[in-house]
Amino acid sequence: MVTRVPGWLLRHRIAVEPYLGDTAYGPQYGERVECVPALVVAVRKQVADKEGREILTTAQIVAGPELECPPGSRLTLPDGRTATAVSTAQHTAPGLPVPSCTEVMCQ
């Protein structure tokens, strides 16, 4: 039974700086995590951000279920481009033969 997205599908490596919140000096990020295995796809899709506004995203990232990447996190994509996480979804299906993963839509 498959319990997580297979590693061989995660062909790219990204860096993630988890969003911690806003301060008087602007957004605050956690410690940068390098070389996170992921599958990065260039995609143009409308998604709702955490305030409910419709935003056009330009990248979809699929990673293992342990990825910590709340909306607002800063990501460095394989091509060197910096993106911001707009939405994060944990996909799980306990007891079913489908992989668990984290999906992040970025702007």
pLDDT (tens digit, 0 to 9) for every residue of the chain, 107 residues total?
A: 557 888 899 999 999 999 999 999 999 999 999 999 999 999 998 888 778 889 899 999 999 999 999 999 999 999 999 999 999 999 887 777 778 999 999 99
Those residues whose C-beta lies under 8 Å from the C-beta of residue 94, and which sit 6 or more positions away, are none
Rounded to two decimals, the pTM is: 0.88
Question: Which residues partner with 104 through β-bridges?
Answer: 61, 88
